[in-house]
Amino acid sequence: MRKQIAAANWKMNLTIAQGEALLDGIIAKPHHLKPEQLVVFAVPFPYLAMAQQKIAGKQNVFIAAQNCYSKKSGAYTGEVSVEMLQSLGIKWVVLGHSERREYFAESNQFLAEKINIALEFDIQPIFCCGEPLSIREAGTQNEFVTKQLEESLYHLSADQLKKVVIAYEPIWAIGTGKTATSEQAQEMHAHIRAELAKKYGKEVADEITILYGGSVKAANAKEIFGQPDVDGGLVGGASLIIDEFVAIIEGLK
């Protein structure tokens, strides 16, 4: 059975004291996670060690970095390596978020390098893909997302791909309050799974967790996560509010 994940993306928000209070508040609530359900908090780099300590001993709860660099180590001032993440015990990293692609010019090719180094260090990537509004309006979103998968993931072996979680995040739905309808999410998730099946076979494609991201909140999580090919969500704004995120976790199938 493939994993379902409620992933929080704090982005560049919160002081460390606010982050601690948020984690404490969420962890203190009762959760009813099934064995295949995970909760992941993608926190800013300076909070990774604090967050890792807070979740110590918690079943099915993990901390993720929001990014990493493509090189092992060296003269890359200001960057963070996967080896550093590994040394903190971090098991997950978000790669290719649309904000990284847009503001920091991260290309599909560059992301392929980051995927490789993350896997080399046993850190599971949450690989983000998704189209801008102009592409959605032109009706070419499927081709757009296929190209992102091809250029960043298709060099992987099936065993490597199985360690990758895909997050479909239509850019027009991120932080805008404009959620894709559950039908739109399902349609794209089914497309992604069908493309993966073409390349890697149905059995492998069926094992890949595909998250939806873009204005997920307590009020819509259950319906979106209820779609057959939607295996949870990557959540920005609503992950900063204790009760919202707890309800989103409870919205997993």
Binding positions for ligand PGA, rule: CB under 6 A? 9, 169, 174-175, 213-216, 234-238
Count how many residues are written for the chain.
253
Taking a C-beta distance cutoff of 8 angstroms, is the pair 130, 171 a contact? Answer: yes
Smallest gap from residue 100 Cβ to ligand PGA (A): 10
Which of 156, 170 has the CB closer to ligand PGA? 170
Active site residue 151: no
Choose among 84, 54, 53: nearest CA to 68: 84
Which of 40, 235 has the CB closer to ligand PGA? 235
Query: Could you tell me the two tokens for 76?
Result: 């890359």
Active site residue 131: no
DSSP readout, 7-71? Answer: EEE--S---HHHHHHHHHHHHHS-----TTEEEEEE--GGGHHHHHHHTTT-TTEEEEES---SS
Give the residues across from 39 on adjacent strands.
Answer: 6, 61
The three-state DSSP-derived secondary structure of 201-218 is: CHHHHHHCCEEEECCCCH
Q: Which of 31, 97, 99, 106 is catalytic?
A: 97
List, in sequence order, the alpha helices (H) in 56-181. Answer: 82-87, 98-103, 108-120, 133-138, 141-153, 158-161
Smallest gap from residue 11 Cβ to ligand PGA (A): 7
Smallest gap from residue 49 Cβ to ligand PGA (A): 23
Which of 3, 199 has the CB closer to ligand PGA? 3
Q: Which of 99, 169, 189, 244 is catalytic?
A: 169
Taking a C-beta distance cutoff of 8 angstroms, is the pair 232, 209 a contact? Answer: yes
Smallest gap from residue 177 Cβ to ligand PGA (A): 8
Which of 19, 213 has the CB closer to ligand PGA? 213
Smallest gap from residue 171 Cβ to ligand PGA (A): 9
Q: Which residue is nearest to ligand PGA (CB)?
A: 236
Which of 96, 236 has the CB closer to ligand PGA? 236
Q: What one-character DSSP code corresponds to residue 164? A: P
Give the residues across from 234 on adjacent strands.
Answer: 7, 213
Taking a C-beta distance cutoff of 8 angstroms, is the pair 229, 190 a contact? Answer: yes
Catalytic residues, by residue number, are 97, 169
